[in-house]
Structure 1
Amino acid sequence: MAGQQEKFTRLKALHETDGAFVIPNPWDAGSARLLASLGFEALATTSAGFAFSRGKRDSFAGLAREEVLGNAAEIVAATELPVSADLEDGFGTAPEACAETIRMACETGLVGGSIEDATGDADAPIHTFALAVERVQAAAEAARDLPFVLTARAENHLWGRPDLDDTIRRLQAFSQAGADVLYAPGLPDIEAIRTVCDAVDKPVNVVMGLRGKSYSVAELAAAGVKRISVGGSFARAALGALMRAAEEVKTSGTFTYADDALPDAVASRLMSQERPAARS
């Protein structure tokens, strides 16, 4: 079994290699096992994918910290890969709430996680600059002596504030506050992505599979991106396959969807072989 320190070292090293790497987002232990079998080198949780699996919307009020960390712990236990987590807004406005979330996340075996500057309030969707920086600084101080890679997210472009200058200003401040990785989801195009990468001094994460134009790993690497995640898009792809299969059965009375389904033997081979304790 790989130890937490070893996983941390591996995750950190991925950010120091040439080119870009993909860190896909499983939403449970089973999807983590499947992705690990394909040769990915690290995984990241998805609050959206997990929320969908619980029949909930992806929102600040949808998932409690204990739920998110419990799901992350199951993913950590399912694979030998380093796992980073979507820790949303740190589960509290105060900087100390972010710090406590980082400490709790590390206790689950996670070796990385992200804190975002969104508030969940439609009337004031982004924390003020000063508070956003204080929150990242508190998280970074909590992570400093832990085996933990901290990602800081500037959420302007997901909340109807397409202010690239402010996004860059925030990312630069987050870097100075101690973040290891910088992330601005929802950037509109490759030029904006390149501008962000050129303006900061830490590895940049970009998410693909959301709205807008899609770019290849090679194109993103050429723009300066270091890490590429997919957010909840793999979970939505799985839900899309389920909907198409169910609609076929309901509308046509046929079952051809099974031709494209993952064979049971493959799924069984990838899942845990542990048996429960003998029944009394």
Structure 2
Amino acid sequence: MDTATLATRLLELHHTGTTLVLPNVWDAWSAKVVAGAGFDALSIGSHPLADSRGQGDNEDMTIDDALDGVRRICSAVPDVPVTADMESGYGAAPAELVERLLEAGAVGLNIEDTVHSEGGRMRSAAEHADYIGALRQAADAAGVDLVVNARTDVFLKKDQFEDPLGEAVARLRACEEAGARCVYPVGAPDAATLEALLEALSGPVNVIASPRNGSAAGSLEDLRAMGVHRVTFGPKLMQDLSPDLESLVASWR
């Protein structure tokens, strides 16, 4: 399936009226297994991808490292739309990032507002929205419905803000206006906060969850009832598998 078709399919999956679950994979094997379980689309988490390569998250990988992983995964599931966590962009200009990501086969991306390569500073709301807007403009110029998922780390750094919820809403509204097709308030602490975000924002909202333990706002059924549009696992699928893997091999010591 060609890239433009995959991108349009991923975008459509965000607007079906039900919650889209995108399990986070980290290599060709995990992608094939999850796709074989019947999921319509997949996500690549930067943390598990880095772990699979023996590298660290928070832009310890270079853009070349990250795209090598993206390319291998997308090649393994050529008919499944894949979105990739590209952290804060690995220092790449938006047009370059879009061009290289599409060439690697991904049709969506996460971009966060913490720039780890610059001491972990947070982009301002305007700077983050500008970067998101430039990504969308580059994708539109390429004729591809790239699903740009704008993430904010406000709730991970809530002590920096007098009103974390208000700050998150302001940042994510700016990203929506700039062209984000989904927004990601990572670390939203509870159901009440998530409900306020869903009320304040106009487009799809992404929530992180653990396959084993659910999310801070409840189970998949709870998230569906709230009207959450999209769920990803970040590093939690890999982390939840670790005890099972250890148990499986332990008796063979």
TM-score by length of 1: 0.81
* Aligned match of 1:196: 197
Whole-Å separation in 1 of the counterparts to 2:123 and 2:205: 21
SS in structure 2 of the partner of residue 144 of structure 1: helix
Q: 1:194 is matched by which residue type in structure 2?
A: E
Q: 4+ residue runs of structure 1 moved beyond 4 angstroms?
A: 121-124
| Long gaps (5+) in structure 1 | 249-253, 257-280
SS in structure 2 of the partner of residue 159 of structure 1: helix
* Aligned match of 1:76: 74
* Aligned match of 1:170: 171
- Going from structure 1 to structure 2, the CA distance change for 1:86 and 1:123 (only over 3 Å counts) comes to closer
Deviates more, 1:2-11 or 1:181-190: 2-11
1:153 Cα offset (Å)? 0.7
Whole-Å separation in 2 of the counterparts to 1:218 and 1:211: 10
Structural RMSD (CA) = 2.2
Q: 1:136 is matched by which residue type in structure 2?
A: I
Task: Please state if 1:115 is matched with 2:118.
Answer: no
* Aligned match of 2:96: 100
Q: Which has the higher strand share?
A: 2
Whole-Å separation in 1 of the counterparts to 2:178 and 2:132: 6
SS in structure 2 of the partner of residue 113 of structure 1: strand
| Long gaps (5+) in structure 2 | none
1:245 Cα offset (Å)? 4.4
- Cα-to-partner distance string for 1:231-273 (whole Å, 9 max, x where unaligned): 1111112333334445x3xxxxx339xxxxxxxxxxxxxxxxx
Whole-Å separation in 1 of the counterparts to 2:214 and 2:130: 30
* Aligned match of 2:131: 135
Could you say which structure has the larger radius of gyration? Answer: 1
Whole-Å separation in 2 of the counterparts to 1:123 and 1:87: 17
Task: Please state if 1:225 is matched with 2:228.
Answer: yes
Q: 1:131 is matched by which residue type in structure 2?
A: E
Deviates more, 1:129-138 or 1:190-199: 129-138
Q: Tell me the matched-pair count.
A: 245
Task: Please state if 1:241 is matched with 2:244.
Answer: yes
SS in structure 2 of the partner of residue 183 of structure 1: strand
SS in structure 2 of the partner of residue 91 of structure 1: coil
- The answer to whether the 8 Å contact 1:208/1:228 transfers is yes
* Aligned match of 1:9: 8
Whole-Å separation in 2 of the counterparts to 1:151 and 1:124: 20
- Going from structure 1 to structure 2, the CA distance change for 1:234 and 1:124 (only over 3 Å counts) comes to closer
Identity of aligned residues (%): 31
- The answer to whether the 8 Å contact 2:214/2:220 transfers is no
Whole-Å separation in 2 of the counterparts to 1:121 and 1:128: 16
- Going from structure 1 to structure 2, the CA distance change for 1:222 and 1:212 (only over 3 Å counts) comes to closer
- The answer to whether the 8 Å contact 1:125/1:159 transfers is no
- The answer to whether the 8 Å contact 2:217/2:223 transfers is no
Whole-Å separation in 1 of the counterparts to 2:111 and 2:168: 15
